[in-house]
Amino acid sequence: MGQIVIMLIFGSLITLSFLKFANPLKVNKRANFWLGVTFLIWASFWMEEILLLADMKAASGNIVLIVRFIQFLSPPIFFFSVILFTNPLYKFRLKDLIYAILPAIYFIAISIEYYGDWKNKEVIRILILAIILFQAMLYTGISYLAIRNHQKKILLFSSDTKGINLNWLEYIIVLIAIMCIVISGYNIIYYTADLNFQLNLFILTVIFFIAYYSLKQKEIYPVDEKHRRELISINQQEFVSGAKRKLMTDEDLAEIVRRINDVMQLNRPYLDSELNLIKLSELLSVTPHQLSYVINTGFNGNFFHFINKFRVEEAKKLLLDHKKDNLSILGIAYESGFNSKTSFNTTFKKITGQTPSEFKKRSSTL
């Protein structure tokens, strides 16, 4: 059974990496490419077991050294795929060479382990394991922070974060951190032993989880290059720097605030579950930068909360309307502009302090 699990892990990772490279949906292209590279490297961790199962010779020392070094690169490569999911326009710069410091130290350490005349190789082995654990925890940590920042940034331009908040990557990062600790501890205690069956089975489950959610991930930013650059620019200026440059006079601000209120009351664009900053800016004939500035300054909030306040108010009316008693909670959600029951319940409770069902029940007793 253990051998079957090992083959499934290896085959699943190879297949998943191929699917990421092929990217049949043509979404998040650069991010998916580097995620595919990550999966391919992860597959190499089970290469030795596969060779043994196939009754093939183990690789020579030089090849093993190269493979181990490439394996060490998987945390920074995974981190770069996370960065590209959160910012598809990210370009590698000279300062990114800082990420090469730990790999350089690791390469020197494993070279000493393989070829050096070291009397106490147990010390260098522990040092190598410590470097591996440190790098893994470092990159899982900064990857987690990148996802959390992304989840705040998308509130500036999207009225619905489902499908673009990268929650699945956040969960994976936590699981990777746990696995790194467990596997490192296992290697320290049982250095010459293979991973046990239970641990391999857990890893296989995580791989299936990754495959399911990563293949469902849709494009986060607009495909249109101009709109994509505008939204990422808004994120960088308003979120990263925290600066609120004055883009217009107070008179112009008041005028756009009035126009927004008129459009929201008459056109009710919030009923469109796919409404985003770009769509609303086009409806108002203002730039996305101007609209974001007006919402942040004139309404003291971000785009997500601004739009969903209108949706919640619409939902309240429907919940109190006896003519709509035939509608389920999900039906009310769709009628109000939400695209899922989960996001409806979560947003409604955050704004009103109670779930839609609680609101309807308490209102009916008044």
Cα(324)–Cα(169) distance, rounded to whole angstroms? 39
Rg of the Cα trace of the chain? Answer: 26
pLDDT computed for residue 240 by the predictor: 47
Q: Which residues face 158 on adjacent strands?
A: 276
Residue 350 DSSP SS3:
helix
With a cut of 50, list the residues of the chain below it in pLDDT.
240-243
pLDDT computed for residue 25 by the predictor: 86
Handedness of CA 14, 18, 21, 26 (dihedral sign): negative
pLDDT computed for residue 55 by the predictor: 63
Q: Which fold has domain 230-364?
A: Arc Repressor Mutant, subunit A (1.10.10)
Instruction: Write a three-state SS string for 244-277.
Output: CCCCCCHHHHHHHHHHHHHHHHHCCHHHCCCCEH
Neighbours of 93 (CB within 10 A): 7
pLDDT computed for residue 30 by the predictor: 94
**Domain ranges, ordered by start, for the chain:** 2-214, 230-364
Neighbours of 62 (CB within 10 A): 10
Q: Tell me if 186 sits within 8 A of 133, measured CB to CB.
A: no
Neighbours of 193 (CB within 10 A): 9
pLDDT computed for residue 142 by the predictor: 95
Give tens-digit pLDDT for 11-58.
999 999 999 999 988 899 999 999 999 999 999 988 877 776 666 665
pLDDT computed for residue 184 by the predictor: 65
Q: Tell me if 12 sits within 8 A of 211, measured CB to CB.
A: yes
pLDDT computed for residue 166 by the predictor: 94
pLDDT computed for residue 83 by the predictor: 95
pLDDT computed for residue 62 by the predictor: 75
pLDDT computed for residue 151 by the predictor: 94
pLDDT computed for residue 112 by the predictor: 83
Residues 35, 38, 39: CA angle, nearest 5 degrees: 90
pLDDT computed for residue 235 by the predictor: 74
pLDDT computed for residue 113 by the predictor: 81
Alpha helices in the chain (DSSP H): 2-22, 29-44, 47-53, 61-72, 74-86, 101-115, 121-153, 167-189, 197-214, 225-234, 250-266, 277-284, 288-298, 303-320, 329-336, 341-352, 356-364
Q: Which two tokens stand for residue 349?
A: 């409770």
Q: Which two tokens stand for residue 139?
A: 């990159």
Dihedral, 242, 243, 244, 246 alpha carbons, nearest 10: -170
Q: Tell me if 27 sits within 8 A of 73, measured CB to CB.
A: no
Cα(147)–Cα(142) distance, rounded to whole angstroms? 9
Cα(216)–Cα(169) distance, rounded to whole angstroms? 12
Residue 326 DSSP SS3:
coil
pLDDT computed for residue 175 by the predictor: 86
